[in-house]
Chain A
Amino acid sequence: MMCGLRGIPAISVRIIGVALLVSIGIAGCTSKSKNESLNVLHIVADEKLKGLDPIYTNDLYSGIQSSQAYETLLQYHYLKRPYELVPSLAQTLPTVSRDGLTYTFSLKKGVLFQDDPSFKLNEGKGREMTAEDVVYSFKRLADPKLSAPGWWVLDGKIVGLNAWRESVSNTVKTDYSIPVEGLKALDRYTIQLKLLRKSAQFLYSLAMPFTGIVPREAVEFYDREFINHAVGTGPFRLSEYNPNSRIVWDRNPTYRKELYPSEGDSDDQALGYLEDAGKPLPMSDRIVVQVITEKQPMWLNFLAGKLDFAGIPKDNFTSAITPKKELSPELAAKGIRLLKSAALDVTHGTFNLSDPLIGKNKFLRQAISMAFDEATFIDLFFNGRAIPAQGPIPPGVDGYDAELENPYRKFNLVKAKELLVKAGYPEGEGLPPLEYATISDSSARQQSEYFQKMMAGIGISLTVNSYSWPQFQEVIKNKKAQLWEYAWSLDYPDAENMFQLFYSKNVSPGSNDANYINPAFDRLYEKSSVLPAGPERTKTYGQMVKMLVEDCPWIFGAHRMSFVLIQPWLKNYKPNDFDHARYKYYRIDTALKK
C-alpha cells in the first residue's frame, strides 16, 4: 500500500540538500581571510593546560606555557651539552660562600614586568622586578594554603623556610612579611639564599618553572584567577587563553635585551644553530598553541603545514619512518627534517619492597627481571625508539656507563629459572599469583598482557588489576600493589634526581615508590648529593648503580628516544629537555614558509 505525497518530500530533500551544499561552500570558501603575519610559531599541546601559575606547573605543557611569560633566576644554555646553567633574571651565576651554604645573586637591573591592569600605581605599566619579588615568589611556593606541587624543590633546603611554612599554616591569611632567615633581599637587586646543607643540585631548582618570579600586585589583583593570567618578565605576553583549545602569545614589547647565544656545541655551527648568534630574542612575533589531544588531527595538521614541528604518533610511525629509522622519502621530499634525541628518562617495572613476598626475596625479583624481554617490548610498544636500560641513569647524564651490563637485564629464561629455584619457587611452584597494577587504558592493558606472557615463560602467574589514574596512584602510595610499570623523566640533568627515588627518607607516599631501604645506599646518596660534579661523584654514582642492579628494586626498562619532525621553515629547533622557555629561540624562515 502506498501512502502518498507526491512531489513534496522531494522538494524538502532538495531544499535541505541545497542548504547543506551552501554550508559546505561557506566552510570551504571562508578559509583564512585574516592577514596573519608569517613570523608566527604554530605549536601543538597534546594535553589540555592546567594553568599558568608557575607554582602549579607540574606537567610539561603547563610548564612550557608558563615559561613564555615567567622567568627564573637561572636558565639552561640553549645549545651547550651537557646542560649548563646560565643566568636569566640573575646578572651572573651566584657567588657561593666558602662553606657552600650561602648563595648571593645580583639581579639584572631594569627588568620590567609586562604591562597589566594589576599595576594600578603605574596605570597599568609594568614595574621593575626586584629582589623582593624573588623573596615573595619563593615564599608563595612554600605557602601551605596554596598546596603547590612544586614545593618539593625548596622543601627542607632553605634556612627558616620550613619553619615559616609551619608558622603560617594555621593562620587565616598567610603573612608574607614574616622574615625568613635564609631568604633575604639584601638590597633592591641582591638576593641571598642560605641553605640548611650543601647541595650540588640546588641551583637547578632555580631554573625550574616552579620558581618563576611573579609580581605580588598581580597575584592579589587576580586572586584565584591568577592561574588564568600571565604577568611575568618573559619574552611573550599572553593574548588569548583558552586552556581547552588555544593559547596565543605575542612578543612582549617591554622585554629586556636578551640575545641568541653566540656559542654552542662543536657541531652547532655546521648544523646552523649559530646563524642567529647575537640577535635579540624572541625571534618570533607570536606563538599560537593549539590544544589537540587526539593523535590523528595533530598528525594531519603537521602534514598540512599547520604545525611547525610534531612528534610521530605510534600509528603513523611506519609511514613516516623507514625500517632503518630514517625519514620516509615522501616526507623528506617535502623538506621535512627528522631530529632524533635521547630523552633523559627511564621506564621501569617497580617492585614494592614493602611487600612481604616481593621485598624479602631478591632472587625472585632478579628472576622476574631476567625473564622480561625488553628488546621485543621496545619494538612492540615504542616502535624501536628506545635503548634498553641497564641501570637508572640515562645516556648524556654524568654517571651513565655505556659499558654497564646488568646481568639481570639479559633476557635468559634458563638463568631466570635458576634464580627462581634459588628464590624457592622452582618453575613457579608454590608462588601465589603476583598482583600487577596498571591503569585502565588500551596501551597499558596491552603492556600488562605482554608482562603476563613473559612471566608465564618461567611459570609465574600475574593477576592484572586495572585502575583509574588516581586509584593507581592511591594503590601505589599506600603500598598496596606488588608490581607495576612506571617511568621517570629527570627534573634536572643530574642523576641525583634518579637516585632520590631510592632514598629511604622518600618512601611512599614520597617518591621512593619501590620502598627501597638500604642504609649503605643512603650513605652514598647523602655523600653524593653534596659533591660537585667530578670523578669522585661519578665514582659514587657508579657504586650506587651497582647496588641497585644487585638489589633489583626495579626492572630497568628503556631510555626512550624522541623522534621529532621539523618543517623546513622552522630554524633553531634543538632538542632540549629542560629549557621550558625555548620558544624564544625558534625562528620562522618566512621566505621558505611562503
Chain B
Amino acid sequence: MFIYIIRKLLNTIPVLFGVAVIVFVLFNLVGGDPTYQMLGRHATASQISELRHEYGFDQPKYIQFTQYLKQIVTFDYGRSYATKQPINGMIMDGIGPSLSLMIPAFFITTILSVAIGLWVAYYRGKLVDKVVVIFCVFGMSLPMLAYILFGQYYFAYKLGWFPISGFETTWPERFQSVALPMIIFIIVSLGYDVRFYRTAILEECNQDYVRTARAKGLSEPRVFFKHVLKNSMVPILTNVVVQIPLLILGAFLLESFFGIPGLGSITIDAVHNSDFPVIKAMTTLDAMLFILGNLATDILYTLVDPRVSLK
C-alpha cells in the first residue's frame, strides 16, 4: 500500500503541472492585464510601466510561468492584487467559515441521504418510494439560487428564524449564521444523494448473496447492515470522499448570499476582480485536494472491501 501511495503522490506532479499550464494559459489569454484595474482610470503610462515591472508582468512568459511553478512548490502565492493581503493568510482565514458551514451540512446530508436511500430501497416500487423519488427529482430540478432567495425571504426575513446574512466568529452565534445556508445545502444535496444511494443499495439487493443470506434465515436488519450496506460502501464512499475537497473550498453561492467569508466567497471575488494570484492558489489547492481525496477513496476501498487491494 505504501508504494501505491507514493506512486499516487508522484502522479500528482504531472497533474498539477497540467493544471498550472491550463490556468496560466487561460489567464494570459483571457485574463487581461490587471495593471489598469489596479491603478484606475487616472493612471499614466509611467505608472503603468512601473507597476508592470514591480509585479513582473514585463518578464517573458516562461519566466512568469517558472515563478508560478515555484509558488506551487513553496505554496507561497504572495499577495492578492485586489486587497494586497497575503494569500496564505486569506486561505487560513477562509477555511474556518467554510468548514463551519460545510462540515455539519455534509454530515447531516450524508447520514440523512443514506438513511432515506435505505428506506426507499426497502419500499421499492411502493407509494413511499415513488413520492420520495418525485421529491428528489423536484429538489434536483430547482437551482440553489431559488432556495436561497426563498429561504432568505421567508424563513429569515418574514419569520425571523435566522439572520438574513452575516457571519459571527463566536459560538453559538456562528451556528446561527450558518444554520439557514446549511439547511439549504442539505435540501439541495438530498435529491441527488438519495437517488444515488437508493440505486447503489438496490443494486446490491438484487445480488445472489442477499437471497442466500435470507435463505439461511438471517434477520432483515442483519442482511441489510451486515451484507447489503457493507457491499454498497464502495459507491457510497466514492460519493462521500469526492465531496470532501468541496467542504474546504466552500459553497460559492451560499457564502456569497449569506455573507460567509469562506473560501468560496474568496474565490468568487478573485474571479470577479481577476485577482490572478488568488485564483492560482485556489485552483492549485482545489487540484491537490481532489488528488488527495481520490487517494483517500482508494485506501478506504481496501478497508470496506477485502477484494480490493492496492498495488
Interface residues of A (CB under 8 A from B): 1-6, 8-10, 12-13, 16, 19-20, 23-24, 26-28, 30-31, 48-51, 56, 58, 144-145, 147, 149, 151-152, 155, 169, 224, 227-228, 242-246, 290-294, 296-297, 300-301, 303-304, 306, 467-474, 476-477, 488, 509-511, 513
Contacts and interface: CB of A to CB of B under 8 A. Distances in A.
B164 A23 contact: no
Interface in B54-109: 54, 79, 82-86, 93-94, 104, 108
B83 A51 contact: yes
Contacts of B44: 152, 155, 509-510
User: What DSSP secondary structure best describes chain B's contact surface?
Assistant: helix
B116 A9 contact: yes
Interface residues of B, number: 84
A242 to B, nearest CB: 6
A245 B167 contact: yes
Contacts of A4: 122, 220, 223-224
Given A1-B205, A468-B30, A511 B122 contact: no
B27 to A, nearest CB: 10
B108 A3 contact: no
Contacts of A303: 157
B45 A149 contact: no
A5 B120 CA distance: 11
A511 B42 contact: yes
A149 B202 contact: no
B31 to A, nearest CB: 6
B36 interface: yes
B143 interface: no
Residue from the set A9, A145, A227, A297 with the largest chain B CB neighbour count within 10 Å: A297
B166 A246 contact: yes
A470 B261 contact: no
Given A16-B115, A300-B152, A469-B37, A244 B261 contact: yes
A24 B115 contact: no
Given A3-B205, A296-B153, A510 B45 contact: yes
A361 to B, nearest CB: 26
Given A152-B44, A300-B152, A509-B43, A473 B32 contact: yes
A519 B3 CA distance: 76
B176 A30 contact: yes
B157 to A, nearest CB: 4
Interface string B160-183: 111111110000110110011011
B190 to A, nearest CB: 11
Nearest to A507: B45
A301 B164 contact: yes
Nearest to A467: B32
Contacts of B122: 2-6, 9
Contact of B269 (A31, A48, A467, A469): A48
A149 B166 CA distance: 31
B299 interface: no
A471 B32 contact: yes
25 contacts: A1-B206, A3-B124, A4-B122, A4-B224, A5-B223, A9-B122, A12-B118, A16-B111, A23-B104, A30-B175, A31-B160, A49-B83, A147-B38, A149-B42, A227-B83, A242-B93, A243-B83, A244-B93, A244-B266, A290-B259, A306-B164, A468-B32, A470-B36, A473-B37, A477-B48
A297 B265 contact: no
Contacts of A10: 119
Contacts of A26: 172, 175-176, 179
A5 B226 CA distance: 12
B111 to A, nearest CB: 6
Contacts of B39: 58, 147, 149
B240 interface: no
A1 B165 CA distance: 48
B182 to A, nearest CB: 8
B282 interface: no
Given A290-B166, A292-B165, A509-B48, A20 B274 contact: no
B77 to A, nearest CB: 14
Contact of B30 (A2, A290, A306, A471): A471
Q: Across chains A and B, which 5 residue pairs bring their CB atoms closest together, nearest first?
A: A470-B32, A471-B32, A27-B179, A9-B119, A473-B36
A294 to B, nearest CB: 5
B217 interface: no
B121 interface: yes
A431 B50 CA distance: 40
B296 interface: no
Contact of B156 (A6, A144, A300): A300
Given A9-B115, A149-B40, A169-B50, 20 more contacts: A1-B205, A3-B224, A8-B224, A16-B115, A23-B179, A26-B179, A27-B162, A30-B172, A30-B175, A58-B39, A152-B43, A224-B79, A244-B269, A245-B259, A245-B260, A293-B256, A296-B257, A297-B259, A470-B274, A474-B36
A126 to B, nearest CB: 24
Contact of B43 (A48, A304, A510): A510
B84 A56 contact: yes
B51 interface: yes
Nearest to A23: B179
B118 A9 contact: yes
Given A27-B162, A300-B164, A303-B157, A292 B32 contact: no
